[in-house]
Structure 1
Amino acid sequence: MLSFQEFFDACSGVWKSERTYHSMPSGEIERSFTKFHVHRLTDAEAQRLLTPSQTLGIDPQRIEAGSICPGFAIAFDTVSETGEQVAMSLKALFVPDPYVSQAVPGEALVLPVVSEVADGDVIQGFYLRDQGYSEAGAIAGRFTYQPTRQTLEMTTQYKRSVAVDQMRLISPDVRLRTIVTYNRPEPGYPPSDITLIGFGVERK
């Protein structure tokens, strides 16, 4: 069983991913190959992500005093089976709820039913990214980490969709990945209308 910090340490390195995406409305299936380069955030990179996060009520001094807020920087290249290529890089910092004094302003994020957890050891909080996948620009989402399953789940609310990305480390060099995308529901309702499901096996 990996601690919160140990999970991120284990995720550093070069990973190769083979994924299959299922479009729910059309029934189409598409496969892709992705190569990830992952490293832990430096103190300077983490600080840059924290700086614009004052709306979350995060106390940077408290975090600097030794709070566990891990993160990673990712650069990846994806090639689909049709030959389409996408390259992107982003940085993400994970801030547990005890270090956040208030919720994100605006509409609260209601998690999908399948994302609800009852594990007493689970760690929950906000994750801060300098880039989104579906939409450009900095974004804040919710995360849960379950040490007993070595599973990190990230839920991101975009303008038109909600994405749930789950990463489970099943051995030091193998991860399972699932990505579920929903249409964004009306305010106050959990996402339920699935538009895309992706499955992947990632090897270091």
Structure 2
Amino acid sequence: MNALQKFHHFFNCCIGAWHTERTYHYLDRGEVERSRTDFTIRTLTPELKEKVLADNNYPNHGVDGFLGFHLAFETVSEKGEEAGQELNMLFVPRREGPRGLEGDYLRDRAYEEDRPIVASFRFDPGSLQLVMTTTYTRVVAVDTITLLNPRLRLRQILTYQRPPHGQPLEELLLVGFGVEQKLT
């Protein structure tokens, strides 16, 4: 399989219902939090893919080759706090390079800020690892999903203080880890 075929395989494995246990380390305040999340992923219709493009003022080149998904999740922290969200996302491959497939990752609703957002992704076809980097107003989130097998994923979430333009990511605020198991 080539990189694009492996990218499609990765997401075909991701469709369905999942359960995850996560641990978050808030380095800026010295706290550790555990949570569990149930989430579902389903494919988007061409109409919803076009809506995600329009919401982000992204040029529409036809959505047939773009992978689009609807994500819905419910999270309960160890303190009993509940949170949930639904959003639509679209992956637009732009180039294939030595580090794998790279492109834009669009959402109609961001996690950190309630607005449409365009981020970037990199997919390594050798390790079946997807890295999504989102620059928000105050932070930069680097979210990594590694598909170990069709029913098991590892998740890593790194959130950095947003540096001045052109400067490297240095000040790490949050580190999260999770094990995600497919239910259906």
Q: Deviation per CA, 1:10-52, whole angstroms, max 9, x where unpaired? A: 1000000000000112321110000001101111111111224
Residue of structure 2 aligned with 1:82, choices 79, 84, 88: 79
SS, match of residue 8 in structure 1: helix
Flag structure 1 segments of 5+ consecutive residues without an equivalent: 99-118
Residue 132 of structure 1 aligns with an amino acid whose one-letter code is A
> Hey, what does 2:38 align to over in structure 1?
35
For structure 2, which runs of at least 5 residues remain unmatched after alignment? none
- Of residues 130, 133, 152, the one that matches 1:174 is 152
TM-score (norm 1): 0.83
Q: Is the 1:8–1:72 contact (alpha carbons within 8 Å) kept by the matching residues of 2?
A: no
Which one has the bigger strand percentage? 2
* Greater share of residues in helix: 1
Once the two structures are overlaid, the 10-residue window that deviates more, 154-163 or 41-50, is 41-50
Root-mean-square deviation (Å)? 1.7
The one-letter code matched in structure 1 to 2:93 is P
> What residue in structure 2 maps to residue 70 of structure 1?
67
Matches within 5 A, 1:4-153: 4-54=7-57, 56=58, 58-60=59-61, 63-64=62-63, 66=64, 68-98=65-95, 120=98, 122-153=100-131
Shift of 1:59: 4.1
For normalisation by structure 2, the TM-score amounts to: 0.91
1:110 alignment counterpart = none
CA contact (8 A) 1:8 1:40 kept: no
Number of residue pairs the alignment of both structures matches: 179
Change (3 A) 1:121 1:27: closer
Q: Alpha-carbon deviations, 1:65-118, whole Å to 9, x = none?
A: x5x3112110000000000000100111011125xxxxxxxxxxxxxxxxxxxx
Amino acid at match of 1:82: K
